[in-house]
């Protein structure tokens, strides 16, 4: 018999623990959204049917992760669970010092508090919102230098997350290397559509950083998804394993920040990993102040166990093939029906292009916010706005339109099945049919930073 290669890419697991999801009526969802100040972040999760707010900390863990958690060592100092975690991070990243944190932004806080100061500039392909906030909190400027293709939602390019190397060189010349304490590269580029960065680009950033003696860090949250895109899209990598590719990615940088809530396959956790001894010592001092002793850093021993196992599960080829395919599957259905999305689909989410879909809503009436609320009202689906509510607020208090108006539908890892995705496509198509009736929104109240989490809004005219 010959080997059979199916067309259908199946979920590479079976389910033996289930969690019911709750169905609601349109009237119930309308009441919930009004109570939440028209901000889906303020909904109760049991008011949501399909929750695509984030892929962060929302994944399903494997039986091996749970087994590790039961057998964890909860010692305050020197727990065996820490050494397992450290060994996994060191094998995958190659970095010498592994500093555990309770999640990704705590690693950012420690790094930027230690290295950045007012007047500095941190270049990145695109800063994620917490990364930008921590850079700005240190007084430095967060500068986004993604390639031009990354600004055009429907332009097809295999590595739309790449850094614009000429713009980076220009920034170094203009700002001076002494005012650039680090160059960052976010893999995959979450705020730019979950788009990957090629190894050639990582290498080019690394060469420029090293030539100018500027430390180079990866924001590595979705390193495994990025490795899969390199394997499937970059010439010369088809026969390499995702682990080998990840190791090569990390080898070009001097360290990384990591939210283990993504490709760590855990519900909480993160780390900062660096090669430099003196930087590590400074970071550990701050860690003790804000996170805890350096062998647990804000996590329980069982969290360290879950991550030590999860980091490898994220690199499994069957898992990655299914993961990236399920995103592409939704993207293909939407594209076939004419719904504008960011193309090609990225690693962890489908991004709907609200600027294109809702031309009747001006940017500062938040078209992506409106689209996201419509998905909830119609189908109980919760995504997240990545547009002018999230990025419009400036450090000086002014407001201007974000570069793109997107709704991100992020897929929790190993949680939803193909029929959930089919349902989702139906909801989006129905909202698309009714798009001419969607209202603009206005802000009713907002916080001075990261306002999207807590802001209250209302439809214009209400
Ligand atoms: N960097 C990137 C690229 C991220 O996507 C996130 C989190 C962080 C850093 C911060 O990590 O949440 O563990 O503190 N992204 C989540 C999201 C929240 O929904 O995309 P954290």
297 Cβ contact partners less than 8 Å away, ≥ 6 residues apart: 99, 100, 101, 102, 106, 271, 287, 291
Per-residue pLDDT band for 235 (boundaries 50, 70, 90) equals: very high
Give yes or no for a contact between 94 and 247, defined as CB atoms under 8 angstroms apart. yes
Going 84 to 87 to 91 to 92, the CA torsion angle's sign is positive
For residue 188, report the distance from its CA to the centre of ligand 1, in Å.
11
- Does residue 323's CB lie within 6 angstroms of at least one atom of ligand 1? no
Structure tokens that stand for 348 in this block:
């962890």
- Does residue 101's CB lie within 6 angstroms of at least one atom of ligand 1? no
Distance CA 430, CA 426 (A): 6
Give the domain 63-313 fold.
3.40.640
66 Cβ contact partners less than 8 Å away, ≥ 6 residues apart: none
- Given the CA of residue 259, which atom of ligand 1 is nearest to it? 13
pLDDT, position 145: 98
- For 352, half-sphere exposure in the C-beta direction (CA atoms, 13 angstrom radius) is 34
The pLDDT tens digits of the residues spanning 340-365 come to 999 999 999 999 999 999 999 999 99
pLDDT, position 159: 98
Query: Same fold for the domain at 26-55+316-459 and the one at 63-313?
Result: no
The pLDDT tens digits of the residues spanning 102-115 come to 999 999 999 999 99
Does the pLDDT of residue 462 top 90, yes or no?
Answer: no
Domain boundaries, the chain: 26-55+316-459, 63-313
pLDDT, position 354: 97
DSSP string, 418-432: HHHHHHHHHHHHHHH
Distance CA 207, CA 36 (A): 48
For residue 104, report the distance from its CA to the centre of ligand 1, in Å.
6
For residue 232, report the distance from its CA to the centre of ligand 1, in Å.
25
- Does residue 261's CB lie within 6 angstroms of at least one atom of ligand 1? yes
The pLDDT tens digits of the residues spanning 185-210 come to 999 999 888 999 999 999 999 999 99
- Does residue 125's CB lie within 6 angstroms of at least one atom of ligand 1? no
Of 205, 178, 170, nearest to 119 by C-alpha is 178
For residue 314, report the distance from its CA to the centre of ligand 1, in Å.
16
- Does residue 412's CB lie within 6 angstroms of at least one atom of ligand 1? no
Mean pLDDT for 407-428 is 97
- Given the CA of residue 384, which atom of ligand 1 is nearest to it? 19
DSSP string, 215-276: -EEEE-TTHHHHHHHHHHHSTT-TTS-HHHHHHHHHHTSSEEEEETTSTT--SS-EEEEES-
For residue 132, report the distance from its CA to the centre of ligand 1, in Å.
11
The pLDDT tens digits of the residues spanning 372-392 come to 999 999 999 999 999 999 989
pLDDT, position 41: 97
Q: With pLDDT > 90 as the criterion, what percentage of the chain qualifies?
A: 94
174 alpha-carbon distance from chain centroid: 30
In the sheet that 349-353 helps form, which strands lie side by side, from edge to edge? Answer: 349-353, 406-410, 384-386
pTM score of the predicted model: 0.95
- Given the CA of residue 189, which atom of ligand 1 is nearest to it? 3
Residue 185 Cα distances to 77, 238, 303, 305, angstroms: 33, 23, 26, 27
The pLDDT tens digits of the residues spanning 136-176 come to 999 999 999 999 999 998 999 999 999 999 999 999 999 99
Give yes or no for a contact between 387 and 405, defined as CB atoms under 8 angstroms apart. yes
- Does residue 219's CB lie within 6 angstroms of at least one atom of ligand 1? yes
Check whether domain 26-55+316-459 has CATH 3.90.1150.10, yes or no: yes
pLDDT, position 391: 87
């Amino acid at each position: 018999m010959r080997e059979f290669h199916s067309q259908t890419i199946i979920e590479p697991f079976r389910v033996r623990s289930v969690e019911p999801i709750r169905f609601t009526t349109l009237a119930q969802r309308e009441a919930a959204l009004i109570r939440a100040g028209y901000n889906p972040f303020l909904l109760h999760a049991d008011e949501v049917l399909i929750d695509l707010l984030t892929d962060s900390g929302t994944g399903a863990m494997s039986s091996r992760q749970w087994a590790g958690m039961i057998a964890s060592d909860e010692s305050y100092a020197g727990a065996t669970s820490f050494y397992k975690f450290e060994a996994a991070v060191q094998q995958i990243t190659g970095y010498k010092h592994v500093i555990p944190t309770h999640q990704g932004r705590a690693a950012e806080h420690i790094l930027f508090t230690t290295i950045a100061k007012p007047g500095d500039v941190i270049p990145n392909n695109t800063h994620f919102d917490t990364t930008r906030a921590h850079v700005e909190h240190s007084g430095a400027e967060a500068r986004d230098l993604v390639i031009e293709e990354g600004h055009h939602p429907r332009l097809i390019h295999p590595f739309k997350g790449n850094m614009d190397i000429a713009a980076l060189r220009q920034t170094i010349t203009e700002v001076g290397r002494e005012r650039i304490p680090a160059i960052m590269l976010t893999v995959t580029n979450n705020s730019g559509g979950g788009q990957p960065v090629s190894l050639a680009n990582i290498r080019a950033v690394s060469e420029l950083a090293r030539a100018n003696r500027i430390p180079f860090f990866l924001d590595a949250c979705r390193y495994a998804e990025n490795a899969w895109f390199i394997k499937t899209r970059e010439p010369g990598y088809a026969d390499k394993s995702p682990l080998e590719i990840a190791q090569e990615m990390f080898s070009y940088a001097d360290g990384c920040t990591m939210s283990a809530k993504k490709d760590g396959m855990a519900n909480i956790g993160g780390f900062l990993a660096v090669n430099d001894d003196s930087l590590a010592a400074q970071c550990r001092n701050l860690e003790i102040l804000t996170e805890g002793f350096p062998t647990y850093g804000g996590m329980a021993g069982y969290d360290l166990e879950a991550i030590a196992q999860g980091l490898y599960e994220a690199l499994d080829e069957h898992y990655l093939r299914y993961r990236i395919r399920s995103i592409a599957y939704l993207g293909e259905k939407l594209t076939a029906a004419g719904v504008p999305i960011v193309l090609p689909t990225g690693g962890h989410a489908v991004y709907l292009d609200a600027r294109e879909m809702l031309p009747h809503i001006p940017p500062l009436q938040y078209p992506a916010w409106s689209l996201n609320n419509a998905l909830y009202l119609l189908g109980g689906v919760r995504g997240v706005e990545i547009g002018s509510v999230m990025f419009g607020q400036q450090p000086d208090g002014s407001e201007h339109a974000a570069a793109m108006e997107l709704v991100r539908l992020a897929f929790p890892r190993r949680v939803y099945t193909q029929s959930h995705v089919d349902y989702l496509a139906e909801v989006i198509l129905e909202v698309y049919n009714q798009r001419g009736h969607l209202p603009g929104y206005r802000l009713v109240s907002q916080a001075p930073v990261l306002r999207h989490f807590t802001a209250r809004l209302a439809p214009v005219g209400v």
